[in-house]
A and B are shown apart, each in its own frame.
Chain A
Amino acid sequence: MRYTAWAAGVAIDSPVYLDANVLVGATVRRHRLYTKAAQLIGELLASQACILVSLLAVQEALWALANISYCELHNQPSNASFTQTIYNKWREQIFQRHGARMEAISAMLRDWSNAGVAVEVVPKTDSDFLLVSDLTPRYMRQYKLTPADAAHLALAETHAASFVTADSHFKQVATQAPPNALAVVHLVP
């Protein structure tokens, strides 16, 4: 596994698996990674890269958008606690006030696809699903990852040439992992 700290002009091999934090990072502005995330997405689209997404990434992106909306509704700092109990309590208000943004990720992926970008969902087949299911617990233990992070890594490793993420845990993983074809492309400030 190779590690690359992404900067403008650095080529990214296709197909490219996008972590949820990259989808959110390019959709939400005013945070320190935004410009790089947006430029990276622009580079991927312009180079006609094949974009791989998972339902897990979309779910996490939706969670992030709900979290951001809750913080805005209550004028909370962005690191304020946001649990499932809080989400259940304020869900209706979040959708009443910010319902349109909750569709931002799906609209973005749909528009890319309609404009000719190869947007593919992984896992692609039953056997891919079983392979990812096998690898996920192995990576949880081997690299000390949460189930979601381990699943992202397994999805990327089984389908992609590049795994684009803003999660710094994967820098460590890339240095520990045995050499293989996957490149961890890290979005750093």
Chain B
Amino acid sequence: MSTMTLGRRRIGVSSEPYESEIGQQGARLSIDVRPQSPDRFSDLWQRFNDAIRGSLEQCGFPQPEVIEQREPLRRTWLGAVVVAPGILVRGDEFEERYGGIDLEELRSRMTPALFKAFVRHIGSVPGRPDLDVDEISAIPEFR
């Protein structure tokens, strides 16, 4: 495999001899983009990686299956907690929003995109302890 580094990304390209079922010879090309170190652009680069791999598939270069290595749930970055790629919250906010929720179990049952959509929105508005969500959702109907 040949590798090159672009920013904090490592791009690996490998090729191997390939012979099709009808005897046609060629080469199998695969490409993989991985982070050198975790950062908040992981999601963007993952999409880039997926796009390149998808294009190669369409052009007749089957890509080997990549077994996704799930990142640890509570990575920190500059003092903030990375809940999902691109979703950073302060430590105290993490406890408020996700403290009582079994995030790891839910994440194991969701796609990365769905997990991200879930954690992005739950508890995004602070509110107050005396809030009654049922009372407050009633629009006055008698004017």
User: Are A29 and B102 neighbours in the complex by a CB distance under 8 Å?
Assistant: no
A31-B129, A68-B125, A112-B117 given; A147·B136 CB < 8 A: no
- CB of A52 to closest CB in B, whole Å: 17
Report B-chain residues with C-beta under 8 Å of the C-beta of A35: 99-101
* One of B7-15, B46-54, B106-114 contacting the partner: B106-114
Q: Is B139 in the interface zone, CB < 8 Å from A?
A: yes
- CB of B123 to closest CB in A, whole Å: 4
User: Are B137 and A116 neighbours in the complex by a CB distance under 8 Å?
Assistant: no
What CA separation (Å) do A63 and B99 show in the bound complex?
Answer: 27
Partner of A29, one of B96, B113, B139: B96
Report B-chain residues with C-beta under 8 Å of the C-beta of A43: 106
Interface residue SS majority, chain B: loop
The chain B residue sitting closest to A39, CB to CB, is B101
User: Are A39 and B102 neighbours in the complex by a CB distance under 8 Å?
Assistant: yes
Report A-chain residues with C-beta under 8 Å of the C-beta of B129: 30-32
- CB of B129 to closest CB in A, whole Å: 6
A29-B97, A112-B117, A115-B111 given; A101·B131 CB < 8 A: no
User: Are A28 and B127 neighbours in the complex by a CB distance under 8 Å?
Assistant: yes
What CA separation (Å) do A114 and B136 show in the bound complex?
Answer: 29
What CA separation (Å) do A63 and B121 show in the bound complex?
Answer: 18
User: Are A21 and B137 neighbours in the complex by a CB distance under 8 Å?
Assistant: yes
What CA separation (Å) do A35 and B101 show in the bound complex?
Answer: 7
What CA separation (Å) do A39 and B125 show in the bound complex?
Answer: 16
Q: Is A108 in the interface zone, CB < 8 Å from B?
A: yes
Q: Is A167 in the interface zone, CB < 8 Å from B?
A: yes
* One of A75-83, A155-163, A175-183 contacting the partner: A75-83
- CB of B21 to closest CB in A, whole Å: 35
Per the CB 8 Å criterion, the residue count for chain B at the interface is 38
What CA separation (Å) do A185 and B50 show in the bound complex?
Answer: 40
User: Are A148 and B138 neighbours in the complex by a CB distance under 8 Å?
Assistant: yes
User: Are B133 and A30 neighbours in the complex by a CB distance under 8 Å?
Assistant: no
Report A-chain residues with C-beta under 8 Å of the C-beta of B123: 26-29, 34, 38
User: Are A68 and B131 neighbours in the complex by a CB distance under 8 Å?
Assistant: yes
Partner of B117, one of A8, A19, A115, A166: A115
Interface string of A142-176 (1 = CB under 8 A from B): 00001110000000000000000111100000000
User: Are A28 and B101 neighbours in the complex by a CB distance under 8 Å?
Assistant: no
User: Are B116 and A115 neighbours in the complex by a CB distance under 8 Å?
Assistant: yes
User: Are A46 and B110 neighbours in the complex by a CB distance under 8 Å?
Assistant: yes
Interface string of A92-130 (1 = CB under 8 A from B): 000000000100100110011011110000000000000
User: Are B137 and A30 neighbours in the complex by a CB distance under 8 Å?
Assistant: no
12 contacts between A and B (CB under 8 A): A27-B125, A28-B131, A38-B101, A60-B137, A68-B136, A77-B128, A78-B127, A101-B124, A112-B118, A115-B111, A146-B138, A147-B141
Residues of A within 8 A of B (CB): 8, 19-21, 24-35, 37-39, 41-43, 45-47, 59-61, 63-65, 67-68, 71, 77-79, 82-84, 101, 104, 107-108, 111-112, 114-117, 146-148, 165-168
